[in-house]
Amino acid sequence: MLRWTQWLHMTPAAAVRMVFITCAATVAGACAPPGEPPPDQSLDADINPVRVVVVAMWERGADEGDEPGEFQLWKARRGLSERFALPHGDHDLFYNRESQVLGMVTGVGTAKSAATTMAVGLDPRFDLTRAYWLVAGVAGIDPEDASIGSAVWSAYLVDGDLGYELDAREIPPDWDTGFFAIGSTSPTDPDKREPRGEVFLVNEGLRDWAFELTKDLTLPDDPALAAARATNGGLRAFG
């Protein structure tokens, strides 16, 4: 888990992207405990039950058939072949009727993400009352903490766009960064107020379950990744 001071060293955009790589959790409390029964199959035929919503932020181009971004491999490997038009969203939705997995692409930025997620949440074609929301994105990470290609699980959502930032030419000489939290007076202010929407703690139990399930997996490596790590010198990511 990144320390608060490490978040402060990141740009707002990088912090938002960092949230997405570290998050495997529910959105708006839409998480049912493991062991609850699946959605009622007797629902109206026009309403599609959803067990998992896979949320990606962007694609390089189309949703299939060209160089993949965040969503294409989810679509292909999870068999999300049924298309639902989403005119109020950034991309259309894709669904697997057998597994009841729904895939979506929000678009980059908080405005697009909020608008697309709201459009899906209010869509009468889907029953999301027992759905898990998996936010699955790529991002940069501080090489002091992990290497490129690492996987991270987190129970925190941090909105890095909400903060103060002073021009680097105007910050006091003892500051390491000009970026600091709303409600504080400096990056190291010990009396900063409690977050009011900038930080959310979601389902820690789900995070821990996912970590236990995957912690012993060996991540693939190749010469290109090794070469990228080598540029970090003596940092932890070097190994």
Question: pLDDT tens digits, residue range 72-90?
Answer: 999 999 999 999 999 988 8
Report pTM.
Answer: 0.67
| Residue 190 covered by a domain | no
| Residue 172 covered by a domain | no
Tell me how far CA of residue 57 lies from CA of 43, 101, 117, in angstroms. Answer: 30, 17, 11
| Residue 162 covered by a domain | no
Is it the case that residue 37 has pLDDT exceeding 60?
no
| Residue 164 covered by a domain | no
Quote the pLDDT of residue 31: 43
| Residue 211 covered by a domain | yes
Quote the pLDDT of residue 220: 81
* Token pair recorded at residue 71: 């969503």
Average pLDDT, the chain: 79
Residue 5 to residue 49: CA distance in whole angstroms: 42
Of 41 and 177, more confident: 177
Q: Contact, 219 vs 148, CB < 8 A?
A: no
Q: Looking at the 3D structure of the chain, how many domains does it have?
A: 1
Structural domain boundaries enclosing 10: 4-143+146-152+198-238
As a whole number, mean pLDDT of residues 39-45 equals 50
Is it the case that residue 43 has pLDDT exceeding 60?
no
| Residue 125 covered by a domain | yes
Is it the case that residue 6 has pLDDT exceeding 60?
no
Tell me which residue of 44, 35, 204 sits closest to 130, measured CA to CA: 35
